[in-house]
Amino acid sequence: MGTQPSKIALLISSLISFTAFTATAEDLGASSATIDETITVTGSRFDRTVDQQLTVINTIEREEIARLNPKSVADVLETLPGVSVSRNGGAGQATSISVRGSNSNHVLVLVDGVKVGSATLGTVSFNTLSPENIERIEVLKGPRASVWGSDAIGGVIQIFTRELKGGEWFAGAEYGSNDYVRGSFGAGMNHGDGNTTLAVNHEQSDGYDVYNGAEVENDDDGYKRNALSLKGSQQINQNWQALWNGQYDKGNTQYDDIYASGSADESDYENYLWSLATQYSREQFTSKLAVSQSQDSNENFRGDDASVAIAEFETKRDQVNWSNQYLAADDLTITGGIDWSREQVRGDYAQDERDLFGAYALIQKQWSKLLAEVAVRYDDVENIDSETSYNASLAYQFNEQWRIAATTGTAFKAPTFNDLYWPDSGNSDLISETAESYELTLHFNNQDLRAYISVFQNKIDNLIAWAPTGEQDDFGWDIWKPANINEAKITGVELSANYQLLGLEHQLGYTYLNAENKQTDEQLIGRSENEFNYLLSYTWQQFDLLANYHYQGKRYAGYEQYLDAYHKLDLSLGFQIDDAWSLRLKANNLFDEEIISDQNYFSPGRELFFSVSYQAF
């Protein structure tokens, strides 16, 4: 471990040199700077341009999602630096998302501003979300508990559903490998000074045998996925606006369980969310009040009798969010608000509901080329503890193209209901997992190149893991329960570059990661030291071509074993017949590489898909 700092220093030096060279290369024609008008909201809950954000936020728009033609949200997220994906098979199987080496339950996931996920497991079922109903994704890197509260240790992922204007509509159909079938439709409707978008999607696939072991379950593991989203707004008068949105996902997944003794396994899910909000805007002041509810429900079945569930998990979360922003001056912005939520779970738990309360404030101040931001939040989690989180950031703009930003912050993750109250094995004495992070990021931006290099460190304490209690049961077996016994230190370098060269669009992302369990001095399970993604796109007349290459370094699997590194290449070819009709041919895993991102579970081999779509805009 003593060589790691020198390795990081060498890597930083090399990447900075590469970024600087690319930025000044004659082929790019880098001359006058341009302002990136991309708007993000995840950093502060209100619209801000990229140059106003002091944390790294990656965005993926609808156009790029359509060209990627993904079969899961994980396929989209995997193209981003610092985001790592682990799958128990294909698009319909359980999927874990790690941001900058953090655990999968250390990422806060929002859909149109509403927190989603299970309060029993503490994770989000990404395999239940339909990419066709997504307009935009924002991924904020690093802790942001100071604005969003619990879970935002590694980052925040916010998904925005489709949004169309009145008279706009789309329809699409697709067929592909493993008898994959998709049909989708969406339309926008005007009503006075407002509009509403309705989008629906259906997908199904016969799947394939995802587990490496015929003696366990020798069957195909298919899935069905249905999604409905509704999103709208109405301008009541000059100052008041009403907003609403809803999302409904229902489906079935067949999977392989190593403990199933040869029986078929499947799972039904039914998830939804809705939100009603009103927003008041006047001159320098904006206030938004939102009331929402989300449900995460899952039933597992085994064997021939698919009418009796062997396990049921359900989370309902009621939420009230009041957010305010005041532009005190051209160079001073004050943001603050209050969050309340009630989590309820179904099951034989000693405690089946809890209230969470949070209050936060954020101040951003500009002095000429210097931009500073401080955010503080207080959270109280019923029957557990209270946490105070902060973020402090400082950025200096050297010129129109170069900027450097430094950030430090804290975050926490409240224990789940399973951790605290699972019958006979929960530990109600647990406290929240906590984290402290540091980050330094160098940005470059002009008309042909947008790039950044970020060096980060995240220390996570009080990690919850199973441990012997020192007691024994009636049969003499040691009793194990969750305990706050682990700590981790994650250090890394993240590089992103989007540029034009030789008539081609290039997008590359690279992450170096040293994720260490400080209790055992071993690498954290499931992490890769090196991960690289490269998107190459080209447009010629009515054709467009997108090549997506992904390299995943070897992953530590525990007990001194590693999962093999792998390469994956996807190709997407589109043809625009006219202004409305288009065709697309997609090939995943073109070289049919054997991919295992989670031990003994195969990702799909080579797959082919053909789609046709119509868009009226």
Average pLDDT, the chain: 89
Question: Does the structure show a pLDDT above 50 at 343?
Answer: yes
The tens digit of pLDDT for each residue in 39-66 reads 899 999 998 888 888 899 999 999 999 9
Q: Could you count the other beta carbons within 10 Å of the beta carbon of residue 600?
A: 15
408-417 per-position pLDDT tens digit: 999 999 999 9
HEC string of 19-88 equals: HHHHHHCHHHCCCCCCCCCCEECCCCCCCEEHHHCCCCEEEEEHHHHHHHCCCCHHHHHCCCCCEEEEEC
258 and 600 Cβ atoms separated by less than 8 Å: yes
CA 593 remoteness from chain centre: 25
Domain ranges in the chain are 33-616
- Name, in order, each residue with C-beta under 8 angstroms of 617's C-beta and a sequence gap of 6 or more: 168
* Locus of tokens 């989690």: 381
The C-alpha atoms of residue 346 and residue 350 are separated, in whole angstroms, by 11
Calpha distance 615→74 (Å, rounded): 25
Q: Is the pLDDT of residue 448 over 70?
A: yes
| Residue 82: alpha-carbon gap to chain centroid | 11
Using the Cα atoms of residue 472, residue 473, residue 478 and residue 483 in order, give the sign of their dihedral: negative
| Amino acid sitting at position 175 | Y
Contact 189, 166 (CB under 8 A): yes
Q: Which ranges constitute the DSSP H helices of 504-591?
A: none
How many CA within 13 A on the CB side of residue 30? 22
Q: What is the DSSP string of 412-423?
A: EEPPPHHHHHST
Residue 615 tokens, joined: 């868009």
Residue 260 has pLDDT above 70, yes or no: no
> Which residue type is seen at 76?
V
State yes or no: pLDDT of 394 exceeds 90.
yes
Q: Check residue 365 and give its pLDDT.
A: 97
The continuous run of DSSP H or E covering 513 comes out as strand 504-517
Nearest CA to 596 among 234, 93, 87? 87
List, for residues 170-194, the tens digit of each pLDDT value.
999 999 999 999 999 999 999 999 9
Question: Is 413:154 a contact under the CB 8 Å cutoff?
Answer: no
At 262 the pLDDT is 52
User: What architecture is the 33-616 domain classified under in CATH?
Assistant: Beta Barrel (2.40)
Burial of 601 (0-12, 13-18, 19+ CB in 10 A): buried
Given a contact cutoff of 8 angstroms between Cβ atoms, the answer to whether 391 and 374 are in contact is yes
| DSSP character string of 342-402 | EEEEESS-S--EEEEEEEEEEEEEEETTEEEEEEEEEEEETTS-EEEEEEEEEEEE-SSSE
Tokens of 326: 């005041």
* Buried-state track 293-332, b at ≥16 Cβ within 10 A, e below 16: bbbbbbbbbbeeeeeeeeeebbbbbebebebbbeeeeeee
Whether the full predicted model's pTM is greater than 0.85, yes or no, is yes
CA-to-CA distance for 547 and 603, rounded, in angstroms?
19
The pLDDT tens digits of the residues spanning 452-491 come to 999 999 999 999 998 888 888 888 888 889 999 999 999 9
- With contact defined as beta carbons under 8 Å apart, do 569 and 589 qualify? yes
- Would you say 489 and 457 are in contact if contact means Cβ atoms under 8 Å apart? yes
CA–CA gap between residue 197 and residue 231 (Å, rounded):
5
For residue range 202-225, list pLDDT tens digits in order.
999 999 988 866 555 677 889 999
Q: What is the pLDDT of residue 215?
A: 55
Give the chain's radius of gyration (CA, Å).
24
**Residue in this structure with the two tokens 């998830």, named with its chain if needed:** 271
Q: Give the DSSP letter of residue 165.
A: -
Which tens digit of pLDDT belongs to each residue from 432-443?
Answer: 999 999 999 999
Six-digit token string for 400: 């129109």
Burial per residue of 47-77, b for 16 or more beta-carbon CB atoms within 10 angstroms, e otherwise: ebebbbbbbbbbbbeeebbbbbbbbbbbbbb
More confident residue, 260 or 325: 325
| Residue 258: band (very low, low, confident or very high) from pLDDT cuts 50, 70, 90 | low
